[in-house]
A and B are shown apart, each in its own frame.
Chain A
Amino acid sequence: MVGIVIVSHSAEVAEGTKKLAQQMTPPELPLAAAGGTRDGRLGTDATLIQEAIQSVAGPDGVVVLADLGSAVLSTEMALELLPAEVRERVVLADAPLVEGAVAAAVESSLGKSLVEVKAAAEAARNLSKVS
């Protein structure tokens, strides 16, 4: 299964989003949260993100979802810290965090490919919530 990493400026947001995705998927799905800084402040930390990616990295690859602005920059830095053989199977989804994580997790639980899981997360941008 494709691993999913949830990056947020807030540890609680990352952890809560992970729990929400876990509620809808089998327990063996590789999911990791990387929120806040090492000393518990709001922010993002490239090395925390790197560790989260490595904790779920497998042959099927990893999709990373990030919240605002610098979360994306820190994720890009984290990618540079990864060994090349891991990095080449990690993609950053351009998707809303919560909806994208849920969509990606369910898609991954279906045994879909890295490309398909990323596409499912990105399709969340077009989700209409209010009819």
Chain B
Amino acid sequence: MQQRTVTLTNKLGLHARPAAAFVQKANQFQAAISVRAGQKEANAKSILSILALGARQGDTITIVADGPDEERALAELCAFLAAGCGEGN
């Protein structure tokens, strides 16, 4: 199991289209992936779980991955968040 902490920089945070894009990305990996924000924890592969997390711009979240491709999952998901979830901001 590995984890990495990142700060959300895109305008919307993990909402709407960015949330869906994040979940679609997370589903490309075999590892079990969760996202922690404050006291809450969400399943990164479930859109409703991510939406319920309510992570906004400026929030710090921790992504936890556990499985054979955990390292690649963390690297790619963090890069995806850093790039603004494909939203270009």
Q: Which residues of A line the B interface, CB within 8 A? A: 23-25, 99, 102-103, 106-107, 109-110, 120, 123-124, 127-129, 131
Contact = CB atoms under 8 A, between A and B. Distances in A.
B87 to A, nearest CB: 12
A129 B54 CA distance: 9
A129 B51 CA distance: 9
Given A24-B16, A120-B46, 18 more contacts: A23-B16, A24-B17, A24-B19, A24-B20, A24-B47, A99-B48, A102-B47, A102-B48, A102-B51, A103-B46, A103-B47, A106-B23, A109-B24, A110-B27, A123-B46, A123-B48, A124-B48, A127-B48
A123 B19 CA distance: 17
B52 A107 contact: no
Interface residues of B, number: 14
A74 B46 CA distance: 30
Contacts of A129: 52
Nearest to B21: A24
The A interface is mostly helix, strand or loop, or mixed, namely helix
A103 B51 CA distance: 10
> 6 smallest A-B Cβ distances: which pairs?
A24-B20, A106-B47, A110-B27, A103-B48, A127-B48, A106-B20
B52 A127 contact: yes
B4 interface: no
A131 B55 CA distance: 13
B40 interface: yes
Interface in B4-32: 16-17, 19-20, 23-24, 27
